[in-house]
Structure 1
Amino acid sequence: MWHFHPLELHGAYVIDMPAFGDDRGTFIKTFHKSALLHKGLEFKLRESYFSLSKKDVIRGMHFQLPPHHHSKIVFCPQGAILDVIVDLRKGSPTYGRYHAEELSAANNKAYYIPEGFAHGFKALTDDAITYYLVSSEYSQEHDTGIRHDSIGFDWGVANPVISRRDQSFVTLQEFQTPFNI
């Protein structure tokens, strides 16, 4: 049974995914359409992918612009990450606010991230896998982000490994959001 924990950021949830273990290992259900619908979340899976990151890598803060914006379900089946989301929706009472949550293979937690949020993470372990279920397909011309260091969050690492692309993003303050609530 999936358990949804609403966050202070309207429409976002932390999900406890059901995990079943025995002497062979663990079985975890990572997607359950009926559970999402029961919560009022219409999620149409269009794409799935994962990243493998070394410790202290920061990826983000990413999103896609309309009309290719998307919601995501994100979890970490190997290692651990500190996952961060930011509300970018104009008119939202939580616009510009972030939430951080540790997602790991040990805690079986996932994020449900609505449309209009930026997403990023810091790898807490070597070989951390971040897995994404996404409601739209990738569109290079709509794929963008904001700088990870512009959201007021302390990432807790002095020398993170960050791509040139992620460093080139505008700040949250410079970003002109097309998202509405």
Structure 2
Amino acid sequence: MNFIQTELKDAFIIELEKKQDSRGFFARSFCAQEFMTHGLRPKVAQCNVSFNYKKGTLRGMHYQLSPAAETKLIRCTKGAIYDVIIDMRPESPTFLSHIGVELTAGNHRALYVPEMFAHGYQALTDDAEVVYQVGEFYTPGYERGLRYDDPFFNIEWPLEVAEISEKDLNWPLLSMMPVGSASL
């Protein structure tokens, strides 16, 4: 695997190191030892699949507070998505900064999302499928989120939003959240 540090501290794009021949290729997509070598947390508590019928579907921006803060390893296994993460760690030099990465079934890239990063994505194709390896169990009482269209972040989503859940539409704007509170 090739680990590519993003502009956000501790967040990595992970590319497969393919061994190819006439049959196709073989590659390791996860190795706890290699993750630890790069200072990443390799724990996997859950694996989730998200399927999106329509291009333009948006999911996010979600994160969980400690002690249930999640790491995620995100991979698009069918179609394409635009994946966005926001650093929500007040002590981080990249606090409140975000990046977007295109993950496709064809580019085989994954995105490692550290704890306390808000995460969301938009399907760029119909029938987009996403697989998550998650480092903690989903714990509703610790779940938080941000509005996908918060003017503070000014995220440039590639498509008009075609589908979004009521919950994701109703996350608060950052300006409405108490500064320094546990709700961040």
Normalising by structure 1, report the TM-score.
0.90
Report the Cα distance in structure 2 between the residues aligned to 1:138 and 1:79, rounded to whole angstroms. Answer: 26
1:20–1:52 CA distance, 2 compared to 1 (3 A): farther
Which digits, 9 at most, give the CA deviation of each residue in 1:41-73, with x for residues without a partner? Answer: 232111110100121001000111221111111
Residues 61-140 of structure 1: pairs in structure 2 closer than 5 A:
61-140=61-140
Q: Return the alpha-carbon distance in structure 2 between the equivalents of residues 170 and 59 of structure 1.
A: 15
Q: Which residue is equivalent to 1:39?
A: 38
Give the Cα–Cα distance (whole angstroms) in 1 for the partners of residues 77 and 25 of structure 2: 11
How far does residue 167 in structure 1 lie from its aligned partner after superposition? 0.4
CA distance in structure 2 between the partners assigned to 1:108 and 1:167 by the alignment = 30
How far apart are the structure 2 equivalents of 1:6 and 1:98?
A: 14
Once the two structures are TM-superposed, the CA of residue 133 in structure 1 deviates from its matched residue by 0.5
Correspondence for 2:16: 17
> Are 1:88 and 1:179, in contact at CA under 8 Å, matched by a contact in 2?
no
SS of aligned partner of 2:83:
strand
Q: Is the contact between residue 18 and residue 108 of structure 1 (CA under 8 Å) also seen in structure 2?
A: no
For 2:131 and 2:33, how far apart are their aligned partners in 1?
Answer: 20
1:141 alignment partner, SS class: helix
Q: Structure 1, unaligned stretches of length 5 or more?
A: none
**1:19 CA drift (Å):** 3.7
2:124–2:159 Cα contact (<8 Å) kept: no
Name the stretch that deviates more: 157-166 or 14-23.
14-23
Q: Which region of structure 1 is more displaced relative to structure 2, 69-78 or 153-162?
A: 153-162
Rate the CA distance shift 1:167–1:65 in 2: closer, same or farther, 3 A.
same
Give ranges in structure 2 of 5+ residues lacking alignment: none
Kindly provide the amino acid, as one letter, of the partner of residue 75 in structure 2.
F
Does residue 5 in structure 1 map to residue 9 in structure 2? no
Whether the 8 Å contact between 2:57 and 2:161 is mirrored in structure 1 is no
Rounded to whole Å, the distance in 2 between the matches of 1:82 and 1:34 is 28
Report the CA distance shift for 1:48/1:91 in structure 2 as closer, same or farther (over 3 A): same
Q: Closer, same or farther in 2 for the Cα pair 1:129/1:22, shift >3 Å?
A: farther
In the other structure, the counterpart of 1:172 is: 174
CA shift in 2, pair 1:19/1:173, >3 Å: farther
TM-score after normalising by structure 2? 0.89
| Percent identity (aligned) | 36
Moved more, 77-86 or 31-40: 31-40
